[in-house]
Structure 1
Amino acid sequence: MKKIVHLSIILFFLSISSFAQNQKQFFQYVNPFIGTGGHGHTFPGATMPYGACQLSPDTRLEGWDGCSAYHYSDSIIYGFSHTHLSGTGCSDYGDILLMPTNKMMDLDHYQYASTFSHLSENAHAGYYQVFLEQPQVQVELTATLHGGIHKYSYQNQSPQFVVLNLNHRDAVIDSRINQKNHFTINGFRFSKAWATNQKLFYEIQFSKPIKKISYLYPKDKNDDSPSKSKSLYCLIEFEHQKNTNFNPKIKSNELVVKCAISGVDELGAQKNLSTEMTTWDFDFYKKKCEQTWNQELGKIKILDKETQLTEDKWVTFYTALYHCMIHPSIYSDVDGRYRGRDDKIHNTQQKFDYYTVFSLWDTYRALHPLLTILDPKRTNDFINTFIRQYQEGGRLPIWELSSNETNCMIGYHVVSVIWDAYEKGIRDYNIELAFEAMKSIASQRSDYEGEGLNQKLKESAKAKVADAEALNSYCKYGYVRSDDSHESVSKTLEYAYNDWCIAQMAKALGKENDYLYYIERSSHWVNIFDSSTGFMRAKKNGSLYFPFSPYTVDNNYTEANAWQYSFYVPHDINGLIMTLNGRQNLEKKLDDLFQAKEQTEGRTQADITGLIGQYAHGNEPSHHIAYLYNYTLNKSKTTLYTNKIFNEFYTNNPDGLIGNEDCGQMSAWYVFNALGLYPTCPGNHLLDIAEPQFNHLKINDSIDIIKKDNPSLHDKYFSTTQNKSQLSFDAFHSKQPIILVANNHLENLKELTTNPHEIKTIPYLENASQTFKDSLLVEIKSLSNSPIFYSINNESQQKYQHPIQIIESTTLHFFAENTADKIQEARFTKLPSDRKIILKNQYNPSYHGGGADGLIDGINGKLNWRAGDWQGYQGQDVEIVMEFAEPKSIKKTRS
Structure 2
Amino acid sequence: MRKGFIVVSLFIAQVIYSQNYSRYVNPFIGTGGHGHTFPGAIVPFGMVQLSPDTRIDGSWDGCSGYHYSDSVIYGFSHTHLNGTGVSDYGDIMLMPTMGNPSLDNKDYSSEFSHKNETASAGFYSVKLDKNNIDVRLTTTKRVGYHEYTFNNSGNANIILDLNHRDKLLEGEVKIIDDRTIEVFRRSEAWATNQYIYARIEFSKPLKLTKKEANGKQENNMYTGTKLALAFSAPVKKGEKISVKVALSPTGYEGAGKNMLAEGQSNDFENIRKQADKDWNKELSKIEVKSDNTNKLSIFYTALYHVFTQPNIYMDVDGKYRGRDNKFYTANGFDYYSVFSLWDTFRAAHPLMTLIDRKRTADFINTFIRQYEQGGKLPVWELASNETECMIGYHAVSVIADAMTKGIKGFDYEKAYEASKNSAMLDIFGLNAYKQNNYISVDDEHESVSKTLEYAYDDWCIAQMAKILNKKEDYRYFMNRSQNWKNLYNPENGFMQARKNGNWYQPFDPREVNNNYTEGNSWHYSYFVPQDIPGLIDSHGGKEKFEQFIDAIFTAPSTTTGREQADITGLIGQYAQGNEPSHHIAYLYNFVDKPQKADEKIRYILDHFYQNTPDGLIGNEDCGQMSAWYVLSSMGIYSVTPGKPEWETVTPYFDEIKLHLEDGTTRTITKNTGKEELRKLGFENVKSIKDFKYNEQTASPVIVADRLFDFSTKVQIIPLNPKDKVYYMTIDENDKNVRKTFSTYKGPFTINKTTQVSAYAQRNGEKSSVTTANFNRRPNHWDITVNSKVNPQYTAGGKLALIDGINGTENWRKGEWQGYQGQTFEAILDFKSPQQLTRLSSTYLQDNRAWILMPKKVEYYASMNGKDFILLKTVDNTVDSKDEKVQIKDFTADILPTEARYIKIKAYHFGKLPEWHQGAGGDSYIFIDEISAQ
> What's the TM-score once normalised by structure 1's chain length?
0.88
Moved more, 417-426 or 326-335: 417-426
Q: Deviations over 1:91-134 (max 9, x none)?
A: 10000011111222221244111100000000011000100111
Determine which of 689, 706, 718 is the counterpart of 2:668: 706
Q: Deviations over 1:654-701 (max 9, x none)?
A: 111111100000000000011011000111112000121110011116
Give the Cα separation in 1 of the matches to 2:421 and 2:825: 48
Q: Deviations over 1:607-665 (max 9, x none)?
A: 11000000011110000000000011322110110011111111001111111100000
Give the Cα separation in 2 of the matches to 1:287 and 1:477: 58
Structure 1 residue matching 2:100: 3-state secondary structure = coil
Determine which of 329, 348, 359 is the counterpart of 1:347: 329
Structure-2 change in CA distance of 1:219 and 1:729 (3 Å): closer
> Number of aligned pairs?
819
Alignment of 1:139 onto 2:157: no
Give the Cα separation in 2 of the matches to 1:726 and 1:761: 37
Structure 1 residue matching 2:486: 3-state secondary structure = helix
Tell me what 1:803 maps to.
Answer: 747
Determine which of 722, 726, 731 is the counterpart of 1:789: 726
Q: Cα offset for 1:240?
A: 4.4
Q: Cα offset for 1:882?
A: 3.1
Determine which of 806, 816, 819 is the counterpart of 1:870: 816
Tell me what 1:488 maps to.
Answer: 447
Structure-2 change in CA distance of 1:115 and 1:240 (3 Å): closer
Q: Does structure 1 conserve the Cα–Cα contact (< 8 Å) formed by 2:458 and 2:478?
A: yes
Structure 2 residue matching 1:89: 3-state secondary structure = coil
Q: Does structure 2 conserve the Cα–Cα contact (< 8 Å) formed by 1:424 and 1:729?
A: no
Alignment of 1:403 onto 2:349: no
Structure 2 residue matching 1:341: 3-state secondary structure = coil
Determine which of 587, 590, 609 is the counterpart of 2:549: 590
Q: Does structure 2 conserve the Cα–Cα contact (< 8 Å) formed by 1:555 and 1:866?
A: yes
Moved more, 267-276 or 823-832: 823-832
Tell me what 1:45 maps to.
Answer: 40
Tell me what 1:675 maps to.
Answer: 634
Q: Does structure 1 conserve the Cα–Cα contact (< 8 Å) formed by 2:659 and 2:666?
A: no
Structure 2: tracts of 5 or more residues without a match: 1-7, 731-737, 842-933
Determine which of 335, 339, 360 is the counterpart of 1:358: 339
Structure 1 residue matching 2:402: 3-state secondary structure = helix
**1:571-720 correspondence runs (5 A):** 571-700=530-659, 702-709=664-671
Letter in 2 for 1:758: E
Tell me what 1:421 maps to.
Answer: 402
Tell me what 1:326 maps to.
Answer: 308
Q: Cα offset for 1:490?
A: 0.4
Give the Cα separation in 2 of the matches to 1:438 and 1:55: 35
Alignment of 1:238 onto 2:233: yes
Structure-2 change in CA distance of 1:108 and 1:755 (3 Å): farther
Tell me what 1:226 maps to.
Answer: 221
Q: Cα offset for 1:144?
A: 0.6
Give the Cα separation in 2 of the matches to 1:20 and 1:267: 39
Give the Cα separation in 2 of the matches to 1:337 and 1:34: 34
**1:726-737 correspondence runs (5 A):** 727-729=678-680, 731=682
Letter in 2 for 1:772: F
Letter in 2 for 1:149: Y
Give the Cα separation in 1 of the matches to 2:522 and 2:199: 51
Give the Cα separation in 2 of the matches to 1:477 and 1:219: 54
Q: Cα offset for 1:502?
A: 0.5
Letter in 2 for 1:414: A
Determine which of 683, 700, 709 is the counterpart of 1:763: 700
Q: Deviations over 1:305-357 (max 9, x none)?
A: x3xxx1111101100000000110000100100001111111113x1111000
Letter in 1 for 2:665: I
Q: Does structure 2 conserve the Cα–Cα contact (< 8 Å) formed by 1:523 and 1:754?
A: no
**1:823-842 correspondence runs (5 A):** 823-832=769-778, 834-842=780-788
Moved more, 178-187 or 361-370: 178-187
Determine which of 463, 481, 484 is the counterpart of 1:525: 484
Q: Deviations over 1:445-489 (max 9, x none)?
A: 7xxxxxxxxxxxxxxxxxx4xx2xx11111111100111100000
Give the Cα separation in 2 of the matches to 1:319 and 1:510: 42
Structure 2 residue matching 1:846: 3-state secondary structure = coil
Give the Cα separation in 1 of the matches to 2:681 and 2:92: 45
Q: Cα offset for 1:252?
A: 6.9
Tell me what 2:760 maps to.
Answer: 816
Determine which of 776, 789, 792 is the counterpart of 1:846: 792
Structure 2 residue matching 1:558: 3-state secondary structure = coil
Give the Cα separation in 1 of the matches to 2:505 and 2:42: 49
Give the Cα separation in 1 of the matches to 2:452 and 2:562: 21
Q: Cα offset for 1:885?
A: 4.0
Q: Does structure 2 conserve the Cα–Cα contact (< 8 Å) formed by 1:571 and 1:754?
A: no
Q: Cα offset for 1:15?
A: 12
Give the Cα separation in 1 of the matches to 2:718 and 2:573: 29
Structure 1 residue matching 2:833: 3-state secondary structure = coil
Alignment of 1:882 onto 2:828: yes
Give the Cα separation in 2 of the matches to 1:441 and 1:140: 45
Give the Cα separation in 1 of the matches to 2:75 and 2:622: 23
Tell me what 2:84 maps to.
Answer: 88
Tell me what 2:117 maps to.
Answer: 121
Tell me what 2:801 maps to.
Answer: 855
Structure 2 residue matching 1:415: 3-state secondary structure = helix
Higher fraction of strand: 2
Structure-2 change in CA distance of 1:31 and 1:515 (3 Å): same
**1:172-571 correspondence runs (5 A):** 172-217=168-213, 225-238=220-233, 240=235, 253-304=239-290, 306=291, 310-349=292-331, 351-444=332-425, 464=427, 467=428, 470-571=429-530
Give the Cα separation in 2 of the matches to 1:754 and 1:596: 41
Q: Cα offset for 1:580?
A: 0.4
Structure-2 change in CA distance of 1:549 and 1:187 (3 Å): same
Q: Cα offset for 1:832?
A: 4.9
Give the Cα separation in 2 of the matches to 1:663 and 1:31: 16
Q: Does structure 2 conserve the Cα–Cα contact (< 8 Å) formed by 1:542 and 1:825?
A: yes
Q: Deviations over 1:800-831 (max 9, x none)?
A: 11112111100111112355462221100011
Letter in 2 for 1:369: P
Q: Does structure 2 conserve the Cα–Cα contact (< 8 Å) formed by 1:685 and 1:729?
A: no
Tell me what 2:55 maps to.
Answer: 60
Q: Does structure 1 conserve the Cα–Cα contact (< 8 Å) formed by 2:354 and 2:681?
A: no
* Greater relative contact order (Cα < 8 A, sep 6+): 1
Alignment of 1:106 onto 2:111: no
Q: Cα offset for 1:18?
A: 8.4
Letter in 1 for 2:582: H
Letter in 1 for 2:35: G
Give the Cα separation in 2 of the matches to 1:560 and 1:616: 9
Structure 1: tracts of 5 or more residues without a match: 1-12, 242-250, 446-463, 715-720, 735-747
Q: Does structure 2 conserve the Cα–Cα contact (< 8 Å) formed by 1:575 and 1:754?
A: no
Q: Does structure 2 conserve the Cα–Cα contact (< 8 Å) formed by 1:572 and 1:754?
A: no
> What's the TM-score once normalised by structure 2's chain length?
0.85
Letter in 2 for 1:182: D
Q: Does structure 1 conserve the Cα–Cα contact (< 8 Å) formed by 2:456 and 2:481?
A: yes
Q: Deviations over 1:781-812 (max 9, x none)?
A: 11232321111116232111111211110011
Give the Cα separation in 2 of the matches to 1:890 and 1:214: 65
Letter in 1 for 2:341: L
Structure 1 residue matching 2:657: 3-state secondary structure = strand
Q: Deviations over 1:506-565 (max 9, x none)?
A: 111011111111110000001000011110000000000001011111011101011110
Tell me what 2:922 maps to.
Answer: none
Give the Cα separation in 1 of the matches to 2:178 and 2:572: 63
Structure-2 change in CA distance of 1:508 and 1:882 (3 Å): same
Structure 2 residue matching 1:37: 3-state secondary structure = coil
Q: Cα offset for 1:260?
A: 0.4
Q: Does structure 2 conserve the Cα–Cα contact (< 8 Å) formed by 1:19 and 1:301?
A: no
Give the Cα separation in 2 of the matches to 1:438 and 1:799: 40
Letter in 1 for 2:808: K
Give the Cα separation in 2 of the matches to 1:527 and 1:821: 9
Paired-residue identity, %:
47
